[in-house]
């Protein structure tokens, strides 16, 4: 569920319920959120920031992060531990396996939407500047850096690197500006393809390297690399290593 594009689909599902202006009638689940603060509150806005889903109320915002395995169901339940249920007049939203937090600050003050890969305010030039500020990093790590590419995850990392023809272990300082710009554009473009493909439930068949070892092409290899030792797929003939 969790990369940026999937959060937009979550927002689409919630928007379809027309809950703005509606009150929270009841909350349930194993969360440690203060129920008293939420009950009776009118939903003011629903936003996403990268992988964060934001339910905005008058004086605070509930931040829902779906982590690796987070899921949600609308007007439906499943057997795994219910973490947070928000009952509105005509609809109930159930969240499972999430990280929840009440944010006191105004989200517009707290979050910089120009780094959000899905946002209208996305600023490619700012991303380039942030990449170049870490010349010794390997590019694969920076594609997961939420300060630079807010909302990017491991699938986007792999596919964007493939599209730009850059090997994941390339050192940032060694990659020509032209290629960095190409990569930044690939992140943005792939993320919207991801959004549309996932909406149509056809994402997997369009992936070119991610989980494609021994599938799309026999030369694709898999390595665990970078800070988080995340699974990384490489088609060596097509991805140049800049060192």
Partner DNA sequence: GGGCTTGTTACTGT
Partner DNA sequence: TACAGTAACAAGCC
Give least dist CB 61 to DNA, A: 15
C-alpha 151/C-alpha 181 separation (Å) is 18
* Shortest separation between residue 142's beta carbon and DNA, angstroms: 13
Compare residues 152 and 239 and give the one whose CB is closer to DNA.
152
Measured between alpha carbons, how far is residue 206 from residues 18, 70, 109, 162, 174 in Å?
32, 23, 37, 13, 30
Strands 71-74 and 92-96: antiparallel
Smaller CB distance to DNA: residue 150 or 239? 150
Q: Which pair of structure tokens corresponds to residue 169?
A: 């272990």
Taken in order 85, 24, 10, 128, the sign of the CA dihedral is negative
Task: Give the nearer residue to DNA in terms of CB position, either 43 or 232.
Answer: 232
How far, in Å, are 6, 158, 186, 216 from residue 211 at the CA level?
18, 10, 19, 9
Which residue intervals of 2-74 are DSSP H helices?
Answer: 4-15, 35-38
In terms of CB distance, is 19 or 190 closer to DNA?
A: 190
Least CB distance to DNA at residue 138 (A): 11
Helix (H, G, I), strand (E, B) or coil at 105: coil
Give the residues across from 54 on adjacent strands. Answer: 47, 63
Residues at the interface with DNA (CB under 7 A): 1-3, 6, 50-51, 65, 67-69, 71, 78, 80-81, 96-97, 99, 144, 146, 152-155, 210, 227-231
Give least dist CB 89 to DNA, A.
27
Tell me how far, at minimum, the Cβ of 197 lies from DNA, in Å.
12
- Closer CB to DNA, residue 79 or residue 121? 79
CB of 208 to DNA, least distance (A): 14
Cβ closest to DNA, residue 107 vs residue 231: 231
Whole-number minimum distance, CB 162 to DNA, in Å? 14
CB closer to DNA out of 42 and 99: 99
**Helix residue ranges, H only, the chain:** 4-15, 35-38, 107-110, 124-132, 139-142, 154-164, 177-199, 203-206
């Amino acid at each position: 569920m969790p990369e940026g594009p999937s959060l937009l689909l979550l927002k689409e599902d919630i928007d379809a319920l027309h809950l703005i202006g509606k009150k929270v009638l009841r909350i349930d689940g194993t969360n440690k959120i203060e129920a008293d603060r939420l009950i009776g509150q009118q939903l003011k806005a629903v936003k996403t920031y990268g992988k964060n889903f934001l339910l905005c109320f008058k004086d605070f915002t509930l931040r829902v992060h779906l982590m690796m395995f987070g899921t949600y169901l609308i007007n439906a339940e499943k057997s795994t531990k219910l973490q947070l249920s928000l009952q509105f007049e005509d609809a109930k939203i159930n969240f499972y396996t999430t990280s929840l937090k009440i944010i006191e600050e105004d989200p517009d003050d707290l979050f910089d939407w120009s780094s959000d890969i899905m946002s209208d305010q996305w600023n490619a030039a700012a991303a380039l500047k942030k990449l170049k500020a870490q010349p010794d990093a390997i590019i694969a790590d920076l594609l997961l850096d939420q300060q630079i590419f807010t909302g990017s995850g491991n699938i986007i990392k792999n596919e964007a690197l493939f599209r730009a023809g850059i090997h994941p272990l390339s050192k940032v300082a060694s990659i020509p500006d032209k290629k960095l710009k190409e990569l930044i554009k690939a992140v943005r473009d792939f993320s919207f393809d991801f959004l549309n493909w996932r909406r149509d439930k056809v994402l997997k068949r369009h992936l070119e390297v991610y989980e494609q070892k021994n599938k799309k092409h026999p030369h694709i290899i898999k390595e665990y690399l970078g800070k988080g030792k995340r699974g990384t797929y490489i088609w060596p003939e097509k991805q140049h290593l800049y060192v």
